[in-house]
Structure 1
């Protein structure tokens, strides 16, 4: 993982408003981290496989997307050894269902979050994710601590 000053963040979400909301939260937090956006899982995978582009340090991945769902995208990410250590934050748009939690946990997501409704909660979640020591947390991931709530 990079130092906290230069963590490359990538959000994949098909909703342009959500991408804008996320980008504005990063700006409001005055974080200097490079942030990139993908519109769907296909675009994300194309970006990851492009060797001319740096691999992100953290991926926020919406689960409800067209073309390739977040779960299908996560599965493809975890099948490739080059990407197995990238923290993937699974985002579900409405609520944490046990099926969704269990599925994303089994596919290798690092944490599961419910898409926050308020801008303040989004900023809190982003900070919590960025401040997490993913090497330590990944070695000790248990389903009981898999869902992040604010």
Structure 2
């Protein structure tokens, strides 16, 4: 993957407070490009099909969103030839429920992250995700290393 500062990130999350929290944490990492935000899965898919968009390096996807859930969005992303190989789809949710973890893994997510409530923990998680070698991770995709924690 690119140098960490050149990472392009999109977060799809319907909660404005969560988007603001994420933006502040990402800003503290001094990324070259600002995080892009979508309020639901349909908006994310429309954004991905925008011909002016440079394909993101990482997509953080909330599971519980109106209009189109994260599960539906993930399935659509993985089925589309232009997006199926985006190096990272990190699922970003408030729940570590076994069913959600297994479902997202089965749909082709690369990681599952429970939303941290602590700002420093969120920064640590973002940094960890950004610094991972996702091309290598694609080749060693296992459920036991699927959940990323601080």
Q: For the Cα contact (< 8 Å) 1:7–1:34, is it kept in 2?
A: no
Q: 1:56 and 1:29 mapped to 2: Cα distance?
A: 17
Q: Does 1:88 align with 2:89?
A: yes
Partner secondary structure for residue 52 of structure 2: coil
Tell me which stretches of 4 or more aligned residues in structure 1 moved more than 6 Å.
none
Partner secondary structure for residue 10 of structure 1: strand
Q: 1:60 and 1:108 mapped to 2: Cα distance?
A: 13
- Number of aligned positions between the proteins: 149
Q: For the Cα contact (< 8 Å) 1:9–1:58, is it kept in 2?
A: yes
> What residue is the counterpart of 1:122 in the other structure?
122
TM value normalised by structure 2: 0.95
> What residue is the counterpart of 1:66 in the other structure?
66
What is the 5 A alignment of 1:125-144? 125-144=125-144
Q: For the Cα contact (< 8 Å) 2:27–2:34, is it kept in 1?
A: no
Q: 1:16 and 1:49 mapped to 2: Cα distance?
A: 23
Structure 1: stretches of 5+ with no match in the other structure = none
Return the offset for 1:55.
Answer: 1.1
> What residue is the counterpart of 1:11 in the other structure?
11
When structure 1 is superposed on structure 2, of 114-123 and 30-39 the one drifting more is 30-39
TM value normalised by structure 1: 0.95
RMSD: 1.1
Listed one character per residue, the Cα deviations across residues 70-92 of structure 1 (whole Å, up to 9, x for unaligned) are 00000000000111121100111
Return the offset for 1:134.
Answer: 0.3
Return the offset for 1:17.
Answer: 0.6
Return the offset for 1:63.
Answer: 0.5
